[in-house]
Amino acid sequence: MATQLKNLSDFSHTAIPSAADYRFGIVVAEWNAEVTNALLDGAYQTLIRYGAVEENIKIYSVPGSFELTSGAELLLKKGDVDAVICLGCVIQGETRHFDFICNAVANGLSNVAIKYSKPVIFGVLTTDNQQQATDRSGGKHGNKGDEAAITAIKMADLVVTLNR
């Protein structure tokens, strides 16, 4: 598998605009908190590293990944963010619950993004086991929170570029 030897959070090959002029909402699931807190830390630190103003980063918790869609919609309805970063972790279990949650979250976040014409970033780990989640939340494969923050910055900048 290609990801076994790769840090997925390497952005050395791409230009990243300043985040200084943008307002970000982060909606983070409380379920699998060890992982989601690491994702949150990665996203927050990355936004700051690229110039986001601390006061322009609002963080909200929801119980689980399924509720990320509602959290993103409530935040966008309020209207004071340029992009929403949704962070969660769903780990495969013994039932089909995993499939239903992952599909619902992916489709829900896409629909919210379309409804509000704002970037809604899918920073949800969908892993087979706890080790994979750990590896992708600050472990050997980087931090999906970093990736979500970079995506939010780039997409917020794209919105501005397209609206000029």
Residue 147: which CATH number? 3.40.50.960
Query: Is 43 within the bounds of a domain?
Result: yes
Query: Is 147 within the bounds of a domain?
Result: yes
The whole-number mean pLDDT for each consecutive block of 10 residues of the chain, a chain of 164 residues, reads: 56 87 98 97 98 98 98 96 98 89 97 98 97 95 96 97 90
Query: Is 89 within the bounds of a domain?
Result: yes
Query: Is 49 within the bounds of a domain?
Result: yes
Query: Is 123 within the bounds of a domain?
Result: yes
Query: Is 20 within the bounds of a domain?
Result: no
pTM: 0.93
Query: Is 11 within the bounds of a domain?
Result: no
Query: Is 5 within the bounds of a domain?
Result: no
Kindly list the catalytic residues: 97
- Give pLDDT, residue 21: 97
Sequence-ordered list of residues with C-beta below 8 angstroms from that of 24, at least 6 positions apart, any chain: 47, 52, 56, 57, 58, 81, 82, 83, 84, 85, 149, 152, 156
Range of the domain at 50: 37-59+66-162
User: Two tokens at 21?
Assistant: 């002029």
Q: What is the C-alpha separation between 123 and 146, in angstroms, rounded?
A: 9
- Give pLDDT, residue 125: 98
Sequence-ordered list of residues with C-beta below 8 angstroms from that of 62, at least 6 positions apart, any chain: 27, 28, 29, 30, 68, 70, 71
Domains in the chain: how many in total?
A: 1
